Amino acid sequence: MDSMHTISRACHNPSLGLLLMRVVAGLIFINHGWMKYGNIAGTMKFIVSLGMPGFMAYAIIAVELVGGLMLIFGVLGRVAAVATGIAMVVAVSLVTYPHGGLIGSEFELLLMAVSFGLALTGMGKYRLTKMFEY
């Protein structure tokens, strides 16, 4: 049991854990934003079918693409995390939950939790802006 305790203490690195969450969530957001960007007409049509104005498609794409990059690099990370978290709240409330309930919303809920969790904890010490601090 002592060896497990030693291993767990040696592996304790919250900033590395935050980096892992940031990079994976950022890559997912970028991928989803890129897919929407690749079919802007379809994305706009879908957004309008939800009762929102079509230009919101551009806002959603920007949040996912730019927000994902900001998460990965930790630049204005809390702003990006809140923005991506809000995007997931909208996705759950307007798209996944009404059509699939809780089970259909698991992925978006996880991304929402990671986003808001990062907003609450910060980006950790492994971030681009850390290089410019004194």
- Say how far apart CA 81 and CA 85 lie, in whole Å: 6
> Residues 35-57, buried b or exposed e (16+ Cβ, 10 A)?
ebbeeeeebbebbeeeebeeeeb
Instruction: Kindly report, residue by residue over 62-117, the tens digit of the pLDDT.
Output: 999 999 999 999 999 999 999 999 999 999 999 999 999 999 999 999 999 999 99
Residue 109 sits at φ, ψ, to 5 deg, of -65, -40
Helices (H), the chain: 2-10, 14-38, 40-49, 56-73, 77-91, 97-104, 106-121
16-30 pLDDT, tens digit each: 999 999 999 999 999
Residues 95-118: b if buried by 16+ CB within 10 A, e if exposed: ebbeeeeeeebeebbebbebbbeb
Q: How confident is the model at residue 133 (pLDDT cuts 50, 70, 90)?
A: low
Mind giving me the DSSP string for 17-40? HHHHHHHHHHHHHHHHHHHHHHTH
Of residues 8 and 107, more confidence is placed in 107
| pLDDT tens string 29-68 | 999 999 999 999 999 999 999 999 999 999 999 999 999 9
pTM beyond 0.85: yes
What is the spatial distance between Cα 121 and Cα 124, in angstroms, rounded to a whole number? 8
Cβ atoms of 81 and 115 within 8 Å: the answer is yes
